[in-house]
Amino acid sequence: MAKYLIQRLIYMIITLFIIITATFFLMKIMPGSPFNNLGGKITEEQQALLEEKYGLDDPVPVQYFKYLTGIVRGDFGVSFQYENRPVTDMLLERIGPSAELGAQALIIGAVLGIILGMIAAIKHNTWIDYTSNIVAVIGISIPSFVFAGLLQYYLAVKWRLFPVSFWESPIHTVLPTIALMIFPMAICARFMRTEMLEVLGSDYIELARAKGVSNGSIMFKHALRNALIPVITVLGPMTVSLMTGTLVIEQIFAVPGIGEQFVSSINTNDYPVIMGTTILFAVLFVVVILIVDLLYGLIDPRIRITGGGKD
């Protein structure tokens, strides 16, 4: 276990190092300078001064080294667009709404999905099962931004049940949360249904039935617990979907989160912010995958954790 953990951590560090390096050098060869947007308003001299101020006139290896050592200390540099704002501060300030939105969507989506999947499995091959299957397919298929647009148009603009956008009170979070949770919900429902069906067909459930255990007790004490374990594995794809989801959902509903910031920083060539957000996303992703793998091994002893990993 310890050996496996160390091995995984080493891979994590290598992966992150490659991401940071690739991000940095791609930014360097990218066309356009952060001061392009000023469009002829500054002279060459002023531009040179600005570049000196932000350390852009150093040789690239020096810049790279500075950046790497900065990251280790939690310093992602200074934004080019917002005078002297450290990227770390900007990200910290924006992480609140994103985390709130993401957590709400993840928790509500997962719980609803698990309930839906469980009911579908219990009522296997009835109209309830078919309906929940259709809901799951639609949830997986329809792109989140399409769904968000429909929600916004009907529930906010037409019927005025919810505010159209912004992030001010709990009621403002309703529509973005629904739009973001539909995918995790669909995945969970699908997965849960499969697992539940498999568990319900197993011998120990037969035995429990033969012993005369009540139906409710079988469902909740025996079946649900065992069916829940593999659902952990969908946490990985769910996190990815939440990450990509926040980019568009935050834009559509004007949520002041990381995703919205990322999209706007791409449009303004604000390299330090882009790099900072990219690295943040990468760290989040890698850590979640690691946690999923570890949790899975801990909860289900049948899964042998070896160097081979998930293959």
Partner 1 sequence: MDKAKNEYTKEKFQRVHVREELGEELTRPQLSYWKDAWLRLAKNKGAIGGLVVILFIVAIALTGPLMNDYSMDDANYDAAYMPPKVKGLSWLGLDGMQTYEVQGTTVEDAIQRGLDGYEIEEKYVQNTEVIEEPNEGNDNYYKVAMEVDIYGAKGLDDTYYWFGTDSMGRDLWTRIWKGTQISLYIGVLAAMIDMVIGVLYGGISGYYGGRTDNIMQRIIEVLSGIPNLVIVILMIMLLSPGLLAITIALTITGWIGMARIVRGQVLKLKNQEFVLAARTLGANDKRVLMKHLIPNVLSVIIINTMFTIPSAIFFESFLSFIGLGLQPPDASLGTLIDTAFDDYRVYPYMLLFPALIISLLMIGFNILADGLRDALDPKMRR
Binding residues vs partner 1 (CB under 8 A): 11-12, 14-16, 18-19, 22-23, 26-27, 29-31, 137-138, 140-143, 145-146, 149-150, 153, 157, 190, 193-194, 197, 240, 243-244, 247-248, 251-252, 263, 266-267, 274, 278, 281-282, 285-286, 289, 309, 311
CB 180 within 8 A of CB 242: yes
Closest to 192 (Cα-Cα) out of 126, 133, 104, 131: 133
* Identity of residue 301: P
* Residue nearer to partner 1 on the CB measure, 149 or 297: 149
HEC-encoded secondary structure of 56-80: CCCCHHHHHHHHHHHHHCCCCCECC
Minimum distance of partner 1 from residue 20's CB (angstroms) = 11
d(CA 52, CA 49): 5
d(CA 148, CA 253): 8
In degrees and rounded to multiples of 5, residue 202 shows phi and psi of -90, 170
* Residue nearer to partner 1 on the CB measure, 226 or 251: 251
* Residue nearer to partner 1 on the CB measure, 70 or 237: 237
* Residue nearer to partner 1 on the CB measure, 10 or 48: 10
Minimum distance of partner 1 from residue 305's CB (angstroms) = 15
d(CA 280, CA 116): 33
Q: Which residue has the tokens 């290896």?
A: 61
Please list, in sequence order, all residues whose beta carbon lies within 8 angstroms of the beta carbon of residue 234, skipping any fewer than 6 positions away: 187, 188, 191
Minimum distance of partner 1 from residue 157's CB (angstroms) = 5
Minimum distance of partner 1 from residue 192's CB (angstroms) = 11
* Residue nearer to partner 1 on the CB measure, 141 or 202: 141
Burial class (CB in 10 A: 0-12, 13-18, 19+), 255: buried
Cβ of 182: how many Cβ atoms within 10 Å? 25
Minimum distance of partner 1 from residue 194's CB (angstroms) = 4
* Residue nearer to partner 1 on the CB measure, 28 or 225: 28
d(CA 263, CA 178): 21
d(CA 190, CA 282): 27
d(CA 53, CA 47): 10
Minimum distance of partner 1 from residue 103's CB (angstroms) = 19
* Residue nearer to partner 1 on the CB measure, 146 or 171: 146
* Residue nearer to partner 1 on the CB measure, 56 or 121: 121
Minimum distance of partner 1 from residue 298's CB (angstroms) = 21
Minimum distance of partner 1 from residue 49's CB (angstroms) = 26
Closest to 13 (Cα-Cα) out of 279, 201, 270: 279
